[in-house]
Chain A
Amino acid sequence: MATLIEKDLIDSKTNISTSRRNFLKNLASGGLVVGLPLTACASAPLPGENKNALQPNALLQITSDNTINFYLPRSEMGQGTYTGLTTIVAEELDVHPSSINVINATAHDDYKNIEYGIQVTGGSNSIRTHFLPLRHLAANTRLVIRQAASQQLKQPLASIQTDDGKIVVNGKALPYGEFADFANQLEFPEDAPLKDKSQFKYMGKNAPRLDGLAKSTGTAEFGMDVDFEGLHRAALKRCPVFGGTVKSLNADDAKKMPGVKSVVQIHNGVAVIADHYYQAKNALPKLKIEWDRPETLSKFSSDSTAADNGKGWFKTALDSDESTNAFEQGDGLDALKLADTVVSGEYWAPYLAHATMEPMNCTAKLDGDKLELWVGSQAPDLAKFAGAYYADVPKDNVTVHSTFLGGGFGRRSATDFVAEAAAIAKASGLPIQLVWSREDDMQFDVYRPAAMAKFKVGLNKEGLIDSWTVKRSGPQIMPYTLDNIVDGVMPSFLPNGMVDWMSKAGYSIFDSLTVDHASVEGLYEDYDAKHKSSDHVTVDPGLPLGYWRSVGHSYSGFFKESMMDEIATLQKQDAVEYRLKHLTSNPKLANTLKVAAKTAGWKQPLPKGHFHGVATHASFSSFASQITEVSVKNGQLHIHKVVCVIDCGLAINPDIVKAQMESGIIYGLTAALYGEITLKDGAVQQSNFHDYPALRINESPEIEVVIIDSDDAPTGVGEPGLPPIAAAISNGIFAATGKRLRSLPLKV
């Protein structure tokens, strides 16, 4: 890792600030590429190490009693990676996926995300980045078992076949496990051939999810379900405004409450520890706390009409000359001067909470200088670093037990709740499970940033797009995640003080040097235009931010596809045809749009009062187009149907791809129709599902998903289904009512 960073710095062509910028940019874009280790790192022992087992690396193990363990390097949060990655291993290992014992991996260097250099699950890259490495690993493993069988049974290698986890030779079938010990002593091969698509038994076929049984019987273990003798429960009172600290505390009344064992103060609040959760929760209101509130955030109110507060602040910044360029092509902004017509549009998207079904929680047990954590996390190694820091123990003394995640959507890549649990365990000396209430979860999230954007699009005489320019104002995510990440990616030879400085000063370093790609992604890429520019200006009240399903695309899909619809309307052109005219260099996206139009019956007659809306958007290396059928009656929106066409390369399990499209659409519909986090004097106003509603089954439309048949390598599906939906609805509303909605959530 150290050498990679050095190389990156040396490769930078200009000066030190550029190289630093590249380094940070790489953090943001995941440019620190390391290969999936195919042999064990000497640095850390393999999980479940067993000298009689065949264990080429930390991911795969075949024991002599024929258990095939796959240590799942990515976190299962609903997206289906538990089934998907196991299916990839199963295919080349030649064993039925359901015969593989899948284990949620602990924190270990071998499980780092190949593109990010940290052990994080996000960016819809699990299947894409593991497709080849896991196939090679499994194919090489199958080969070494065949080689072992060949030598042990004294039969030529060519006569040794496999079938569903068994060596087949001379009409006999022997389990792989019988050869594991011997295979372990052979040199591990590196070049076993991979199967051709025509030979696939499991990939590309529908099969039930491997975690479906546990999750249909209440037996899947989530972080919240962890329990052991002597475990206490903790509830935490935080300053209503993020970043506030305790000025004074009187815990006398809280300590008298039933079941309360201890009250401790930590970095961001006061924790009550009790035998049971409801006892801790009931005692929290008895704490008397005065807070020191952070100055900037405390001044921010969403409903303010001032030019330097609320939405007005975003607008002021957008209209100012201040900006940093994120992308330029051709003559950029200058090209607008030559345009025959300039069309402009301005759009808004609010802050959003994740609202995973399982509120944040973490269990921490500190025994001397050894810390154990039980947590459903999208980033077990970052959880480990946070635990070490806040319990003040060496990193190598932290063990992370990973559970299933009751929803992630990006929320569980942050480690704030792990830090709290470790700090409470440290301060109290008790093994504790920190449980967040729904209100905690809603009011202390790491939010999807609010954003405002203005497009200016120059058209030529034929009414086609010649220049596409856009400026976005809002806060950036990366500065908030630096503190989380830096500890994980900085070379270990750097002194702690420097790492601390990097993380604490990260915000200002970052923001003064570069634009987080996540701030502008999706605003400018999809359509052909000779000239392009994308600019950003930071407006940041200080509300913590995080990755929210599809990240920047979650708003840019709405912004860009609304703008495109407005242009097509002004040009009196068909919304699908006009888009297709600008997708010449984006053939996969164009194809999904054509298929969507055909599937939905675009331009075909609809029931009276029903209208189509269309949107198309590429994200996470995949391509999605959606066409909605909506009606508006008496001011009430009805969504009758959504057609979604996805090109994600080879669909490892088409049923899961379909489910992820439905999931992205429904998660996106909640945001499009209801989602809005607002602040009053810096405090989040929403608290539970009554004032931050989630789409329910009776509001959920019929969804038809078409998966483009493809031989290309698989790409993302967890996020790409979300970005088009808000615009597909809004464009349908425009068709139905003539009313153009430029703000989210959509208010008909």
Chain B
Amino acid sequence: MISFELNGQTVQVDATPDTPLLWTIRDHLNLKGSKFGCGMGLCGACSMLLDGESTRTCILPVSAVQGRKVTTIEGIGNPDMLSTLQQAWVDASVPQCGYCQSGQLVSATALLSKNNNPSDEEIDNAMSGNICRCGTYPSIKKAIKQAAKDIKSGNGRLQAVSHYDPSNTNNMTQEA
């Protein structure tokens, strides 16, 4: 049994230790917001915050997160409570197909948590691990800058939910 903190809640899963964190969360814990893109840590669709750092979870064994803090897109905000970045994403119509956007938002959240006034180059550095085949990069830059402005002026929040409400995923602690 491996135990870690997922979106503010302690969860226990009975997946084998080598199961990638991504599949543990998607298949065992049934949170589908984080995506499978490449399985090699190359595209960033699976990004989650691991102790605040944007991390590729398709190649990270679940055993490596024992006792640590994992935040997925669901732990950043939801349709009723958007983080400032999510709001900026909606306002700027960033998503196209949308498949990579959970990972993009996770990486952008990690960036703004350390730097609330990023330059173009700092945005490039922080976001270059996340591929978008639709080419939403120009909108991503615009949305990050808008959110940074709001965060810097004290009108923003990097996470809109303190913990993920498990009421609609009652198998959060369920083993598969």
Which residues of A come within 8 Å of B, CB atoms? 76-80, 208-209, 211-222, 224-225, 227, 233, 258, 275-278, 355-359, 404-409, 435, 437-439, 655-656, 659, 662-667, 670, 688-690, 694-698, 700, 702-703
Contacts and interface: CB of A to CB of B under 8 A. Distances in A.
- Of all A-B residue pairs in the complex, the 5 with the closest CB atoms, nearest first, are A218-B33, A666-B135, A215-B98, A406-B99, A78-B97
Say whether chain B's binding surface is mostly helix, strand, loop, or mixed: loop
Contact of B101 (A215, A225, A276): A215
A663 B102 CA distance: 19
Nearest to A439: B39
Contacts of B123: 697
B137 A689 contact: no
A697 B137 contact: yes
Q: Which of A233, A358, A439 has the most CB of B within 10 A?
A: A358
Contacts of A698: 124-125, 127-128
B93 A208 contact: yes
B135 A690 contact: no
A358 B35 contact: yes
A616 B123 CA distance: 32
Contacts of A222: 35, 98-99
Contacts of A224: 32, 35-36
Contacts of B101: 215-216, 218
A10 B41 CA distance: 58
A217 B73 contact: yes
Contact of A694 (B20, B131, B136): B131
Nearest to A83: B93
Contacts of B131: 357, 689, 694, 696
Contacts of A694: 43, 131, 133
Given A213-B79, A218-B33, A688 B40 contact: yes
Given A357-B100, A438-B37, 17 more contacts: A76-B97, A208-B90, A209-B95, A216-B105, A218-B73, A357-B131, A406-B35, A438-B43, A655-B93, A662-B135, A666-B134, A667-B133, A689-B38, A690-B42, A695-B135, A697-B140, A698-B128
B57 interface: no
Contacts of A408: 97
Contacts of A695: 135
22 contacts: A215-B98, A216-B82, A217-B78, A217-B82, A218-B32, A218-B102, A222-B35, A224-B35, A225-B32, A227-B30, A276-B27, A277-B27, A278-B27, A404-B98, A438-B37, A438-B38, A438-B40, A439-B39, A656-B93, A666-B134, A696-B128, A697-B123
Given A659-B93, A694-B131, A697-B127, A689 B42 contact: yes
Contacts of A439: 39
B33 to A, nearest CB: 2
B163 interface: no
B54 interface: no
Contact of A217 (B23, B30, B77, B124): B77
Nearest to A226: B32
Contacts of B42: 688-690
B94 interface: yes
B159 interface: no
A216 B138 contact: no
A215 B95 contact: yes
Contact of B89 (A79, A216, A690): A216
Nearest to A698: B124
Of B82, B124, B133, most buried by chain A (CB within 10 Å of CB) is B133
Interface string B139-175: 1110000000000000000000000000000000000
Contact of B37 (A277, A357, A404, A703): A357
B110 interface: no
A313 to B, nearest CB: 30
B16 interface: yes
B70 interface: no
A437 B39 contact: yes
Contacts of A662: 135-139
B62 to A, nearest CB: 10
B87 to A, nearest CB: 8
Main secondary structure of the interface of A (DSSP, over half): loop
A655 B72 CA distance: 29
B86 interface: yes
Nearest to A666: B135
Contacts of A665: 135
Contacts of B35: 222, 224, 357-358, 406
B119 interface: no
Contacts of A213: 79, 82, 90
Given A211-B98, A217-B78, A219-B78, A359 B72 contact: no
Contacts of A277: 23, 27, 36
A718 to B, nearest CB: 10
Contacts of B45: 357
A214 B98 contact: yes
Interface in B5-24: 16, 19-20, 23
Among B37, B39, B42, B125, chain A packs the most CB atoms within 10 A around the CB of B37
A76 B73 CA distance: 22
Contacts of B98: 78, 211, 214-216, 220, 222, 404, 406
A357 B23 contact: no
Contacts of B130: 696-697
Nearest to A79: B96
B138 A359 contact: no
B73 A700 contact: no
A211 B28 CA distance: 27
B90 to A, nearest CB: 5
Contacts of A666: 134-135, 137
A404 B82 CA distance: 21
B132 interface: yes
B34 interface: yes
Contacts of B86: 216-217
Contact of B43 (A275, A278, A689): A689
Contacts of B124: 697-698
Nearest to A356: B133
A27 B100 CA distance: 34
B136 A663 contact: yes
Given A215-B95, A275-B176, A407 B36 contact: no
A689 B27 contact: no
A78 to B, nearest CB: 3
A83 to B, nearest CB: 8
Contacts of A358: 35, 37, 97, 99
Contacts of A690: 40, 42
A434 B109 CA distance: 32
